[in-house]
Amino acid sequence: MKHYKRYSKELKLQAVQEYLAGYGSQDDICKKYGIRSKSKLQKWIKQYNGYEVFKSYGTGGSQIMTKGRKT
């Protein structure tokens, strides 16, 4: 039986920001925050970087398409 560990948004954000600021390697950050795998941290970094690019286009994270097309 597998038990999945859940991480808070705050922990994810803090871990990613610390890594990107150069406060340690991915292994160091994982040990510090009790993250079970480096791939999990890498996934969060990808998501974080993706959202940064998305927000810089001026949408502010809101949905771009609010209406569907008429059929």
Residue of 8, 4, 9 whose CA lies nearest to 48: 9
Q: Which pLDDT tens digit goes with each residue over 16-55?
A: 999 999 999 999 999 999 999 999 999 889 988 886 543 3
Who wins on pLDDT, 56 or 11?
11
**Which H helix or E strand runs over 66?**
none
Q: What is the pLDDT of residue 51?
A: 61
- What pLDDT, on the 0 to 100 scale, is given for residue 50? 81
DSSP 21: T
Residue 5 — very low, low, confident or very high, per pLDDT cuts 50/70/90? confident
What is the pLDDT at residue 14?
A: 92
What's the alpha-carbon Rg for the chain, to the nearest Å?
16
Domain limits, the chain? 9-55
